[in-house]
Amino acid sequence: MVLKKFAGRDFSSEDSSSLPLRENIEEKYKWNLLDIYPDDDKWEADFKWVEDHIPSLKKFEEKLSHDYETLLECLELQDSIGIKLDRLNLYASLSKDSDMRVPRYQAMDDRIKNLATRFSSAAAFIRPEILGIPSDNLNSMIESNEKLKVYRHYINDIIRMKKHTLEKELEAVLASSSDILQVPYDAFSMFTNADIKFPIVKDENGDEVEISHGRYYSAMYSYDREFRKNAYMSYYRNFKDYSNTISVLFNGNLKANIFIAKTRHYNSVREAALDGNNIPLSVYDNLISSVNKNLMPLNRWASIKKRLLGLDELHPYDSYVTLFQDESEKKYSFDEAKEVVLKALSPLGNEYLNSLRIAFDNRWLDVYETKAKRSGAYSSGTTFGVHPFVLLNWTGNLNDVFTLAHEMGHNMHSFYTGKTQPYPYANYSIFLAEVASTFNESLLLDFLIESASSKHEKLYLIEKYLSNITSTFYRQTMFAEFESLVYEKTEAGEALTPDILCRMYKEITQKYWGSEMVIDEQEEYTWARVPHFYYNFYVYQYATGFAASEILASKVKREGTTAVERYFSFLKAGSSDYPINILKSAGVDMNTQEPIDAVSQKMNMLLNEIESLNV
C-alpha cells in the first residue's frame, strides 16, 4: 500500500481509518530537531560531557562560604551543566514524543532522567550551604562582584525557602529518589499514549474509524449524536476496564507528592506546590470559593444548550457540539489557520508577528497526528540557547485554530524569556504559564467575532467564547477542587478506590453543571484519563491564567501601545521576580477576587447576548 504525503486531512486512499505513519508527512509539517542537535552522536557527546562534569561539583562542597569567587564558580558550573542537561532533555523528549514506539528514544528519555537525578543529587549541597552563610557575609559577597549580583533573586528565593530546605544529605536522598517518584506518571503516560488500544466505531458517514485521543475530541464536535455517543462510550471503555490499575498509579502519584511535602515540613501538598512560586494559598481558595458562588452562569449555559439542541436529556457528550451548525462545518488547513492567527494577533504589533512567522517558517511545529505520536498539544517551554517547539495533532476544526493560537502564546512567552533573561531566570513559573496562551485565544476570538459576516456566525463565535470559559475556567476550577479534595482525603489517611474516586468526581461534576446535566457512568472515570492530575496542583493555573489574560487582553485593545509594552515586559520577565509581582506590573492583581469574578460576569453578558440574538 502506497501512502500519500499528508498535507491536510488526506490519509491513505485505501484505508482512511488508519493513522498515517510519520515518514509519510511532508517535512515542512514536522519539527526540525536538527536545531537542537545535528544527530544522535552529538547528543551522546553532550551526554558524556555532563556525565564527566557532574563530579566536578564535589570540589565546591563545604567551601561556598570561603569567598565570592568560589560561590560564583560553583553557580556558573551548575548553570553550564543545567544548560546542556535541558538541551539533552529537549531532544530526547521531542524525539520520543514523535513516535513513542521507538526503543532508542524511550531509552534516551530514561537515560536523561537518570542523569538529571544524578545532577540534582550532586548539586543538593548548594542550597543548604548557601543558607549556612551568615546573611551579612552573603550580602557582602554578592555586592562585591557584578556577575554574582545576577544571582541576587535566586539566592533570596533560597533564603525564603529556608525552613523547607533539608540538610544536604537528605537533599541528596530526595534528589536521587526523583526518578522513582516519577514512575506513576511515566507508567500512566506510556499506557495511555502507546499501549492502549482504542475500539473502532462507525463515523457520521458509516465508515469505520479507529478511535484515538485526537479523534475522540474531534468526534465530540460532530452533529451526529449517535456517533458522539458511540465515540464517547468507546473511548472511556479502556479507562473503566483498567480502572484498578490506573487507580494504583493515581494513588501512587498522590503518595509520592505527600512524601515530598511531609519531608520538607509542609502542612499539605497544596501548600508545598504553591510555595515553590510564592503563591499565597488565598489565591487558590479565592478561586474555588468565588467560582462556587458563581456557578449559575454554567448551570444557565447547560439549560440553554439542552433547550436549543432539543434534547430531553443533556449528556457530557453533548457539551462540545455547537448549536449553530453551518459555520462550524468549516475545516481549516494548517496554512489557513496560520494566517488567521497572524491577523488576530496584530494588536501586538510587528515584532510579535515577525517572531511568529519565524516559528512558522522554520519548522518549530509538529503539526499532524501520526501513529504512536504523543496525543494532545504542548509547547516545549524555554530551553536556553534553543528556540521552543510546539506539538499539535491537527484535525482541521476551529478548535485546532484556537489550539494553535494557545500553544504559540506559550511558544512566544518562552521565546522572549529565553532571549531576554540570563539562564537562572530563563523560564517562567507555571502560575504564569497559561496567561500568554489564553491571552492569544482571547484576541483570536474577539477578532473572529468582529469579522463575523452574519448573525449566525456571530452566534457561533459567541458560543465558542462561552465554551472557552466553560473548559478553561469552570472545568479547570472543577479539576482543581477535585484535586484538592483527593489530596485532603489521602493526607487524612483515607483510601481512594476506583468506586470512591468515581463517586467523588460525579458529585463535583454534578455540582458544577447543575441538574440539567445527566452525568453518565463513563464520565465518572474522567479522573482516570486526565494527565494533569499527575502534575501536582497545576490545573488551577489554567483558570487563574484565563482570568488574568482576559484583563490583559482588554487593556491591550483599549489602551494600545502602553498596554502592549507592559505585556511585552511580562513576556520577557521570566522568573526574575515572583509571578504575583510580574502580573501586578502588567496590570493584574491576583490577590483580589476581581479577575475571577469578572469572568463569570462576562459569561452572563455573553449568555444574554446569545439569547437575544437567537430570539
* Catalytically active residues, by annotation: 407
Angle between helices 168-176 and 103-122 (to 10 degrees): 170
The Cα diameter of the chain in Å comes to 77
Q: What is residue 556's three-state secondary structure?
A: helix
What whole-number distance in Å separates Cα of residue 469 and Cα of residue 472?
Answer: 5
Q: Which helix (H) or strand (E) holds 216?
A: helix 213-219
DSSP 230-270: HHHHHHHHHHHHTHHHHHHHHHHHHHHHHHHHHHTT-S-HH
Which residues touch 15 (CB under 8 Å, ≥6 apart)?
A: 1
Three cell numbers, residue 299:
448551570
Question: Under a CB-based contact definition with an 8 Å cutoff, are residues 404 and 341 in contact?
Answer: yes
* Long-range contacts of residues 106-112, Cβ cutoff 8 Å, at least 24 apart: 108/40, 108/43, 111/47, 112/47, 112/85, 112/88
Give, in degrees to the nearest 5, the angle at Cα 435 between 391 and 187: 45
Which residues touch 59 (CB under 8 Å, ≥6 apart)?
A: none
What whole-number distance in Å separates Cα of residue 64 and Cα of residue 392?
Answer: 45
Three cell numbers, residue 315:
449528556
| Alpha carbon 479 to its chain's center | 14
Question: Under a CB-based contact definition with an 8 Å cutoff, are residues 406 and 441 in contact?
Answer: yes
Pairing state between β 390-394 and 365-368: parallel
Return the bridge partners of 390, or none.
Answer: 365, 379
Three cell numbers, residue 393:
495533532
What whole-number distance in Å separates Cα of residue 124 and Cα of residue 480?
Answer: 31
What whole-number distance in Å separates Cα of residue 262 and Cα of residue 268?
Answer: 7
Three cell numbers, residue 342:
497572524
What whole-number distance in Å separates Cα of residue 581 and Cα of residue 589?
Answer: 8
Q: What is residue 545's three-state secondary structure?
A: helix
